[in-house]
């Protein structure tokens, strides 16, 4: 959601943003309906004022005059009711079109049509060179007895899986390590709902437009989240916070669900693109200060890159191009981790800043220090770690020729072992 006053004054900026982000929206249609709505709203307010003024004079009228005045009021009330009906219809249409508007990208976001045109900013670590033919995470998982995709599919259909024994323990180790990593950086752990109302999806910008990717529970008017960002960002919906309490820095660990609609035939093998996964997500709610948002964005990115360095995984950071940006994102940095079976990097993290895009939709404000009119907050989010994608990198980059897998030093206390060994008979 954008400030409609700003929209009226900057239609060309919005049209350009829509083109660059590959988002279809009719800015002119919105402005036309908005003008009609404001004109009609003015008529409604004028008629209400006339009726209020007329009511105040009834007591001073003679019975005959009052009868004439009441008849006139009855006509005006009928007219008002019809105008209010039209005004509500136009207001809803303005809202519908406004929800489709894109947030303009930051000046340093590269232009491009898709993720192939994202701009590399940095790399860390070196992709391993194996003196033997390395195995994929699927082959390793089968040999180690820790991944079972066929039985997962039998239970829940395609893009599902089972993690067994040390596979499940490794996932839990990474998640708990990530929670501890963020606790040291001052983030509050929150247990959040993963079934949410549509309002939370609209408020965070996933609806309208992302319905095909969400699992819906229509009977209860709820949907499963694809990220705990939805729940974390929505905590203070409709509230006005105190500036002294900002920023709010929180994380949640939760299961996440995505239908992956439109990805048939894409990444169908293995654990890269699945319907259910676990993620530790970081969300920050702060003041309406662009420079602060930029700095916080970099801090949040560093929380994730520091974690990947501790896990000793090679990765690159990319500045996501306009065509790969979401509707509300001002800028996004992705961390892509080296995965030998892909012969390249695969996305594991996304760090985004939204300015007040989500806060306006959620009606989330704060009172500035020293007084003044409440302002909409700025919101940001980033992955801390997501599984099973991180397991792909951990298994494939740390494999040995005999099929065993070394455990990074920071995870060894959580696992209680330095290596995952092949199961007997494998």
Q: Hey, what domains does the chain have and what are their CATH numbers? A: 4-98 (1.10.287.40), 115-420 (3.30.930.10)
Per-residue pLDDT reduced to its tens digit, 127-153: 999 999 999 999 999 999 999 999 999
**Length of the chain as a residue count:** 426
List pLDDT tens digits, range 318-356. Answer: 999 999 999 999 999 999 999 999 999 999 999 999 999
Q: With H, G, I as helix, E, B as strand and everything else as coil, classify residue 383.
A: strand
* Angstrom distance (rounded) from CA 279 to CA 257: 10
- Catalytic, 249? Answer no
- Transcribe 7-76 into DSSP letters: HHH-HHHHHHHHHHHT----HHHHHHHHHHHHHHHHHHHHHHHHHHHHHHHGGGS-HHHHHHHHHHHHHH
Instruction: State the catalytic residue, choosing from 142, 171, 389, 396.
Output: 389
For all residues of the chain together, what is the average pLDDT? Answer: 95
pLDDT band at 194 (very low <50, low <70, confident <90, very high): very high
Residue 412 has pLDDT above 80, yes or no: yes
Per-residue confidence (pLDDT) for residue 340, from 0 to 100: 97
Contact 366, 425 (CB under 8 A): no
Residue 244 contacts by C-beta under 8 Å, 6 or more apart in sequence? 369
Buried b / exposed e over 318-357, threshold 16 CB at 10 Å, is bbbbbbbbbbbbbbbbbbbbbbbbbeebbbbbbbbbbbbb
Q: Which position among 347, 367, 404, 423 bears the catalytic label?
A: 347
Does residue 426 have an active-site annotation?
no
* Residue 350 a catalytic site member: yes
List 66, 259, 273, 367, catalytic entry:
273
Q: What's the pLDDT score for residue 208?
A: 96
Identify the active-site residue in 258, 353, 360, 361: 258
Mean pLDDT value across residues 63-68: 77
pLDDT tens track for 98-112: 999 999 999 999 999
Does residue 169 carry a catalytic annotation? no
Q: What is the pLDDT of residue 426?
A: 53
The H or E element containing residue 375 is strand 375-376
Give the pLDDT of residue 229. 98
Residue 337 to residue 311: CA distance in whole angstroms: 11
Please report the sign of the dihedral spanned by the C-alpha atoms of residue 31, residue 35, residue 38, residue 41.
Answer: negative
Would residue 389 show up in a list of annotated catalytic residues for this protein? yes
Question: How many Å apart are CA 138 and CA 132, to the nearest integer?
Answer: 17
Say which of 350, 353, 360, 365 is annotated catalytic: 350
């Amino acid at each position: 959601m954008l400030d409609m006053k700003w929209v009226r004054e900057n239609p060309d900026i919005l049209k350009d943003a829509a083109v660059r982000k590959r988002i279809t929206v009719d800015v002119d249609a919105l402005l036309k309906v908005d003008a009609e709505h404001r004109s009609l709203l003015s008529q409604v307010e004028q008629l209400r004022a006339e009726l209020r003024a007329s009511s105040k004079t009834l007591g001073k009228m003679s019975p005959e005059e009052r009868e004439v005045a009441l008849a006139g009021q009855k006509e005006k009330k009928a007219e008002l009711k019809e105008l209010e009906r039209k005004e509500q219809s136009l207001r809803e249409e303005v809202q519908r079109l406004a929800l489709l508007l894109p947030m303009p990208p930051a000046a340093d976001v590269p232009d491009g049509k898709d993720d192939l045109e994202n701009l590399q900013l940095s790399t860390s670590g070196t992709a391993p060179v194996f003196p033997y033919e390395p195995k994929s995470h699927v082959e390793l998982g089968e040999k180690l007895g820790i991944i079972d995709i066929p039985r997962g599919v039998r239970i829940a259909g395609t893009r599902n899986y089972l993690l067994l024994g040390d596979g499940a323990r490794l996932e839990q180790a990474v998640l708990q390590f990530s929670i501890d990593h963020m606790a040291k950086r001052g983030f509050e752990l929150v247990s959040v709902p993963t079934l949410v109302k549509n309002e939370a999806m609209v408020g965070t910008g996933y609806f309208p437009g992302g319905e095909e990717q969400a699992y819906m529970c229509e009977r209860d008017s709820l949907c499963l989240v694809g990220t705990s960002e939805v729940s974390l960002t929505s905590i203070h919906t409709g509230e006005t916070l105190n500036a002294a309490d900002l920023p709010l820095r929180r994380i949640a660990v939760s299961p996440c669900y995505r239908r992956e609609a439109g990805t048939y035939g894409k990444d169908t093998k293995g654990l890269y693109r699945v319907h259910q996964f676990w993620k530790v997500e970081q969300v920050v709610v702060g003041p309406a200060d662009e420079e602060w948002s930029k700095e916080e964005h970099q801090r949040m990115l560093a929380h994730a890159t520091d974690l990947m360095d501790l896990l000793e995984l090679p990765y690159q950071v990319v500045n996501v191009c306009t065509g790969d940006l979401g509707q509300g994102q001002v800028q996004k940095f992705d961390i892509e981790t080296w995965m030998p079976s892909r012969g390249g990097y695969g996305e594991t993290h996304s760090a985004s800043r939204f300015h007040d895009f989500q806060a306006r939709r959620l009606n989330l404000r704060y009172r500035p220090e020293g007084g003044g009119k409440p302002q909409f907050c700025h919101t940001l989010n980033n992955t801390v770690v997501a599984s099973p994608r991180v397991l792909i990198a951990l298994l494939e980059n740390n494999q040995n020729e005999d099929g065993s897998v070394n455990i990074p030093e920071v995870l060894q206390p959580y696992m209680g072992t330095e290596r995952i060994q092949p199961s007997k008979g494998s």
